[in-house]
Amino acid sequence: MNLAWKKLIHTFLNLILPRSCAGCGAKNEIFCGNCQLASYKRGAQCLFCGFRNQTGAVCQSCKNVKHSMFDKTAVKHVLWVGRYDGALKEAIWQFKYKKRKELAAPLAEMLWNKFLEINIMNVENATLKDNHAIIPIPLHFKKEYERGFNQAELLAREFCKLSNIQCLTNVLIKTRETKAQVAVDNKELRIKNLEGAFCINPKISQSNLSLLTSHALILIDDVATTGATLIHASETLAKVGLPCRQAGAKKIIGLVVAHG
């Protein structure tokens, strides 16, 4: 669809269904430039202890905590756009619970800006699509049915449009319903809550299976708190193909909208 058509449809939709910025309420906006700017936190840091670094890597001292969930985690870098508060929290809330699906586009744009800002591998944009694949964190089918969509998948699809990287949906699945992470009291229980919750779709095609093991995988989600979801999902991906003695996913990057 060309830009003129998009603008026309946008104007028409605004007429019949006036929109306002999810952050500040500004008219005819979805998530306005000011709110995006205010939500965007520059730089990267260790997800677990907050130590600032260049790449969003899990830092050595976190990895050194034996028997913690971090010491062997397959997700080596986690990037997030901003803190889970203020305008960003409101935008995510409206996206998920008010079902404002149009928020996926501006939020994915912020994910893309963060990815470009950090660009862990220093890859040229042109070659990104040759060695990366995107995987949205899945919802349990019952939850997705209730909500009507998986917010991570909508974000991932928009991210793919911006980056031209292919999106692998339905490859990682959530096999059991778990309590919402926010409803679980402490860190330990949050980790346990998700144990064995993900698996690779048994109907995965051979070509997607080889993509999982040959490409750097970008796991996309809306919010990360303890990182337990990213850790368990990446564990599953790292074990792909193990029964056939192949190596699992080589490099996994977590990319989330908000941390907190």
Sites of contact with Zn ion (CB under 5 A): 21, 23-24, 26, 32, 35, 46, 48-49, 51, 59, 62
- Ramachandran angles phi, psi of 47, nearest 5°: -60, -30
Pairing of strands 44-45, 52-53: antiparallel
- In 10 A of CB 224, how many CB atoms? 25
Residue number, 62 or 79, with CB nearest to Zn ion: 62
Residue number, 48 or 198, with CB nearest to Zn ion: 48
Shortest CB 233 distance to Zn ion, Å: 20
For 243, counting Cβ atoms within 10 Å of its Cβ (0-12 exposed, 13-18 middle, 19+ buried), the class is exposed
* Amino acid letter, residue 141: F
215: left (phi over 0), alpha (psi -120 to 50) or beta: beta
Q: Which position has the token pair 């790449």?
A: 55
Shortest CB 48 distance to Zn ion, Å: 5
Residue number, 20 or 181, with CB nearest to Zn ion: 20
Shortest CB 26 distance to Zn ion, Å: 5
Residue number, 105 or 209, with CB nearest to Zn ion: 105
Shortest CB 20 distance to Zn ion, Å: 8
SS3 84: coil
